[in-house]
Amino acid sequence: MTEHNVLGGLLEPCSTDPVTGFYRDGTCTVGPEDVGVHGICTVVTAQFLDHQRSIGNDLVTPRPEWGFAGLVPGDRWCVVAVRWLQAYADGSPAPVVLASTHEAVLGVVPLEALKQHAVDVPPDLSQL
């Protein structure tokens, strides 16, 4: 099955260092097992990581039992759509890589909110 991004193109990889994604395949693919919709490819910032920790989503502390080394500012990571939306509402959203963000997140987060924090530029600028 072909996966698409929020711009309608093919879903591009998010990160392989660290390896991200619900399926730990480097992409923000969303499947039936991913009830959290880990579909937004972000470039995490210190502010975003602090915000996530404050709401109980610690993305910094290593969890070796889950193969998770912990994130540092600048890492690209697939985050849960509701968590990103909460950070957005609280004024602490992480930048978004639109080409690597799964279209399924549009059921949770408006495209305009994602575009406001986009860090990539698609070839067709009319999409912005």
What is the C-alpha separation between 65 and 50, in angstroms, rounded? 22
What's the rounded mean pLDDT across residues 98-126? Answer: 87
Percentage of the chain modeled with pLDDT above 90: 88
How many domains is the chain partitioned into structurally? 1
Per residue in 42-101, pLDDT tens? 999 999 999 999 999 999 999 999 888 999 999 999 999 999 999 999 999 999 999 999
* Domain assignment present for 127: no
* Domain assignment present for 82: yes
Which of 23, 36, 10, 2 is closest to 99 using CA atoms?
10
What is the C-alpha separation between 74 and 72, in angstroms, rounded? 6
* Domain assignment present for 69: yes
Residue 126: predicted pLDDT: 53
* Domain assignment present for 122: no
Q: What is the CATH number of the domain that holds 19?
A: 3.30.56.110
* Domain assignment present for 125: no
In eight-state DSSP terms, residue 101 is: S
Which pairs from 56-65 meet CB under 8 Å and 24+ separation? Answer: 57/83
Q: What is the pTM of this model?
A: 0.91
Which structural domain, as residue segments, surrounds residue 61? 1-117
